[in-house]
């Protein structure tokens, strides 16, 4: 508080000034707000434009990368597929439908790699199982929804209860659908959902069914296809993007089987193949396994040295 006559500061709100003794009103000093100079509309518009440009510069590349990941599988910088080791043999009889789509009917969906990966996997199966291999390979324009369904139906009519059955898909997909060659750009009507594929696989008599899905967000199929007697191996979790690393590392393991035989018993199970692929620590991908088989499902054996 201040005396309005002498201007001295007071300790309290007394009616008398303690400095000059005058009987005068005592009040607080008046503080006048400092007027701020208003910004011109042109300056405000300039600041907003600069802010918007900065946001676009940062956000646009991120959006482009995300869309690119969704539309295309990035090919991995890997050498040609490694041939399977001559010391490795397939166990029992194997019926397979192997699908790889790189060239889609809708050209904007084309991606490099999956068709070659499917061909390499078909070659590996043919070498490992020899005359006991029954391979149905569908790539690109042959890999339509109708053809995939027919191939699984034919396999179901031939495979016995004790035979191994393999369905292998590599190409575009998400957590609910895999995308065959004739996928429509704005509709899922030609796509294959986990529920549809589950129904097709239910026609199989075998209780040793192996499903491998190498596509983006394929972990959703690990849940959607899980059931007794079925092993579902996917390249990544349901919220992750993928490329063809799963196919590559499975093939690489077949070329170096000692890396797969984790317990040293000269037998290689699906569980060991999964553990090997998972150990590769593929960037941004965490392979998944839905194990519906009691015990370990032995798929391969190593010849005695």
CA distance 37 to 56: 31
CA distance 171 to 115: 8
Among the CATH numbers 1.10.238.10, 2.40.430.10, 1.10.357.10, 3.40.50.1460, which is that of 72-302?
3.40.50.1460
88, 166, 219 from 84: Cα distances, Å: 7, 18, 27
pLDDT in tens, the chain (305 residues): 555 555 555 555 555 555 555 554 444 444 444 444 555 667 666 666 766 665 556 554 444 434 444 444 444 444 466 788 888 999 999 999 999 999 999 999 999 889 999 999 999 999 999 999 999 999 999 999 999 999 999 999 999 999 999 999 999 999 999 999 999 988 999 999 999 999 999 999 999 999 999 999 999 999 899 999 999 999 999 999 987 788 888 988 898 888 899 998 999 999 999 999 999 888 888 999 999 998 899 999 998 75
The greatest distance separating any two alpha carbons of the chain, rounded to the nearest whole angstrom, comes to 120
**What is the model's pLDDT at position 129?**
96
CA distance 235 to 73: 12
**What is the model's pLDDT at position 63?**
45
**What is the model's pLDDT at position 272?**
95
**What is the model's pLDDT at position 243?**
77
**What is the model's pLDDT at position 44?**
61
Domain boundaries, the chain: 72-302
**What is the model's pLDDT at position 248?**
85
Q: Could you tell me which of 299, 288, 149, 166 has the C-alpha nearest to residue 226?
A: 288
Predicted structure pTM score = 0.74
- Decide if 235 contacts 285 (C-beta within 8 A): yes
**What is the model's pLDDT at position 256?**
87
- Decide if 250 contacts 273 (C-beta within 8 A): yes
CA distance 194 to 178: 8
**What is the model's pLDDT at position 3?**
56
């Amino acid at each position: 508080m201040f005396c309005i006559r002498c201007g001295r500061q007071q300790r309290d709100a007394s009616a008398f000034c303690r400095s000059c003794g005058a009987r005068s009103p005592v009040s607080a000093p008046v503080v006048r707000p400092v007027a701020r100079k208003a910004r011109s509309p042109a300056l405000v518009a300039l600041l907003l434009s600069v802010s918007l440009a900065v946001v676009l510069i940062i956000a646009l590349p991120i959006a482009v990368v995300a869309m690119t990941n969704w539309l295309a599988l990035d090919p991995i910088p890997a050498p040609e597929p490694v041939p399977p080791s001559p010391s490795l043999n397939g166990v029992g009889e194997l019926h397979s439908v192997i699908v790889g789509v790189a060239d889609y009917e809708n050209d904007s969906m084309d991606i490099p790699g999956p068709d070659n990966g499917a061909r390499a996997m078909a070659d590996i199966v043919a070498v490992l199982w020899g005359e006991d291999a029954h391979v149905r390979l569908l790539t690109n324009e042959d890999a339509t929804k109708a053809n995939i369904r027919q191939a699984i139906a034919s396999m179901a009519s031939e495979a016995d209860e004790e035979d191994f059955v393999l369905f292998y898909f590599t190409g575009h997909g998400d957590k609910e659908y895999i995308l065959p060659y004739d996928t429509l750009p704005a509709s899922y009507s030609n796509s294959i959902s986990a529920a549809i594929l589950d129904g097709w696989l239910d026609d199989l008599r075998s209780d040793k069914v192996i499903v491998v899905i190498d596509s983006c967000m394929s972990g959703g199929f690990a849940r959607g296809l899980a059931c007794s007697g079925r092993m579902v191996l996917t390249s990544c979790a349901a919220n992750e993007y993928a490329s063809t690393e799963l196919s590559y590392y499975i093939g690489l393991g077949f070329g170096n089987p000692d890396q797969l035989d984790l317990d040293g018993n000269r037998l290689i199970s699906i569980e060991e193949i999964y553990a090997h692929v998972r150990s590769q620590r593929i960037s941004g991908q965490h392979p998944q396994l839905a194990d519906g088989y009691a015990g370990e499902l032995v798929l391969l054996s190593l010849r005695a040295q």
